[in-house]
């Protein structure tokens, strides 16, 4: 904890927002430092196929797309550290970022930490993580060859995961708590036309059953209260994300759900010199392309902030 | 191929050697994916503070990974990475899927003694 460096720009997060901000600030000669955390690439890297990112007419895996983002960012000289911000202290015209490994001083900060996957609110879930419960279909799907599995959720990730998992599983049952889906029609159509996919709506997972590995689940119907036990070997959870803003709560204002508040039409937070972009401040769109756009906005807002400060000094 | 700062195990001979020549060994067998990278990062982070432990990673998809994949302790695992802890070449703990720093440290402290 002895290191104290001074940076022009520290960017927290290495998803589409953070890396786009890094590309723009690097091209502007600001020599950004990206603290990419323990999962570089953000949520997108668990997507088996991305079909809606402009410029890619053929589907591309989220991992590969983010790998390209990263290469492009490195090309412009951005620097990377695999560290996570634990706390930020505000000083006079300077921010002190504490990663637990080192302290870094920076003039400006871009928060692009994205969101983290929600877990099922079931006490037994952690026990079965890696033993039937998973949050990553592309990572763990192959372990479920010819097995019956559940996918919990109703958004794009859940529906894409369900379709992807039919490559391995004998049957995939989508369990969703609402009687409508947030997934886009194109994804829903793929799932509906897949003969290996079945649907249980509006049901929720009440309990996970098994000794050492998952052997089934107890489900409850949200309308009737009816419960049923169904056998399954795997449960893939894709029930949404929460913004990763905990480390910044004393630095910037957030809404009641933890989304960082930014001025309308900009990425400026309640603290001058701190900018937020991507899913950490976006409760509505939550798309990679939107996050990338936000990242660009944050870089431009930041440049303007730095130049206006310099003008005042002159 | 794993892109980490850890030493990689690439052959069966290396698996034997690392277990045979070191009292305390942690091997994480996985891929460059979202569940594995955090565990690799935790290991990189802990290498300095646990000098009495030998940290290695291994690509899940190479033939030499058969040793880890076929361990009885990993027979029920259904999530990457497979992380195995050896004391005097014997398995003393094994975990499946993503683990955070606290979870890894809990096993290291319990099985190999607290950080120096």
Please judge whether A143 and B79 are an interchain contact, meaning their C-beta atoms are less than 8 angstroms apart. yes
Catalytic residue flag (residue A277): no
Mutate to test the interface with A, among B78, B80, B103 (most CBs of A within 10 A): B78
Please judge whether A140 and B41 are an interchain contact, meaning their C-beta atoms are less than 8 angstroms apart. no
**0.95 cut: is pTM over it?**
no
pLDDT in tens, A167-202: 999 999 999 999 999 999 999 999 999 999 999 999
User: Averaged over A84-90, what is the pLDDT?
Assistant: 94
pLDDT in tens, A13-62: 999 999 999 999 999 999 999 999 877 788 888 787 888 999 999 999 88
ipTM of this model? 0.85
The reply to whether A117 touches chain B by the CB within 8 Å rule is no
**pLDDT given for residue B116 in this prediction:** 61
Return all residues near A95 (Cβ < 8 A) that are at least 6 apart.
A10, A88, A89, A105, A106, A107, A108, A109, A251, A273, A274
Question: Taking CB atoms and an 8 Å cutoff, what residues of chain B touch A143?
Answer: 77-79
Question: Taking CB atoms and an 8 Å cutoff, what residues of chain A touch B3?
Answer: none
Q: Which residue has the higher pLDDT, B65 or B1?
A: B65
pLDDT in tens, A235-290: 999 998 899 999 999 999 999 999 999 999 999 999 999 999 999 999 988 899 99
What is the least distance, in Å, from the CA of B76 to any CA of chain A? 7
Catalytic residue flag (residue A136): yes
A vs B: CB pairs below 8 A: 66
User: Averaged over A220-229, what is the pLDDT?
Assistant: 97
**Chain A, window 42-61: residues with a beta carbon less than 8 angstroms from a chain B beta carbon:** 45-46
**Chain A, window 189-218: residues with a beta carbon less than 8 angstroms from a chain B beta carbon:** 212-213
Q: What is the mean pLDDT of chain B?
A: 93
pLDDT of A4 over the 80 cut? no
Catalytic residue flag (residue A139): yes
Return all residues near B68 (Cβ < 8 A) that are at least 6 apart.
B15, B27, B29, B58, B74, B82, B84
């Amino acid at each position: 904890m002895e290191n104290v460096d001074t940076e022009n720009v520290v960017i927290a997060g290495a998803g589409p927002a953070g890396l786009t901000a890094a590309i723009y600030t690097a091209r502007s000669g600001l020599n950004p430092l990206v603290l990419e955390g323990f999962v570089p690439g953000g949520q997108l890297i668990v997507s088996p196929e991305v079909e809606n990112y402009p410029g890619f007419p053929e589907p591309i895996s989220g991992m590969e797309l983010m790998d390209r983002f990263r290469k492009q960012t490195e090309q412009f000289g951005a620097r990377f550290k695999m560290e996570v911000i634990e706390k930020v202290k505000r000083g006079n015209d300077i921010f002190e970022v504490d990663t637990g490994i080192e302290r870094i001083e920076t003039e400006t900060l871009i928060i692009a930490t994205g969101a983290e996957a929600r877990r099922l609110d079931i006490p037994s879930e952690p026990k079965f993580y890696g033993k039937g419960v998973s949050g990553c279909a592309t990572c763990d799907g192959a372990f479920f060859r010819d097995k019956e599995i559940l996918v919990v959720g109703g958004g794009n990730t859940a529906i894409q995961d369900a379709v992807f998992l039919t490559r391995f599983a004998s049957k995939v049952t989508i369990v969703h708590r609402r009687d409508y889906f947030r997934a886009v029609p194109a994804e829903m159509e793929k799932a509906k036309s897949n003969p290996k996919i079945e649907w249980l709506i509006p049901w929720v997972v009440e309990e996970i059953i098994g000794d050492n590995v998952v052997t089934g689940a107890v489900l409850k119907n949200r309308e009737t209260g009816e419960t049923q036990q169904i056998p399954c070997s795997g449960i893939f959870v894709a029930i949404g994300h929460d913004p990763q803003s905990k480390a910044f709560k004393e630095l910037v204002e957030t809404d009641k759900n933890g989304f960082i508040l930014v001025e309308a039409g900009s990425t400026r937070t309640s603290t001058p010199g701190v900018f937020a972009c991507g899913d950490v401040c976006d409760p509505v769109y939550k798309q990679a392309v939107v996050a990338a756009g936000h990242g660009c906005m944050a870089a431009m807002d930041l440049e303007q902030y730095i130049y206006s400060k310099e003008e005042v000094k002159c | 191929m794993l892109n980490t700062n850890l030493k990689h195990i690439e052959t069966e001979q290396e698996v034997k050697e690392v277990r045979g020549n070191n009292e305390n060994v942690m091997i994480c067998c996985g891929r460059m994916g979202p569940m594995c990278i955090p565990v690799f990062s935790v290991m990189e982070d802990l290498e300095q503070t646990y000098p009495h432990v030998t940290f290695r990673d291994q690509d899940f998809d190479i033939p030499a990974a058969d040793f880890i994949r076929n361990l009885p302790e990993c027979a029920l695992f259904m999530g990457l990475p497979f992380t195995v802890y050896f004391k005097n070449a014997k398995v003393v703990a094994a975990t499946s899927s993503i683990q955070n720093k606290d979870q890894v440290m809990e096993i290291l402290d319990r099985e190999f003694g607290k950080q120096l």
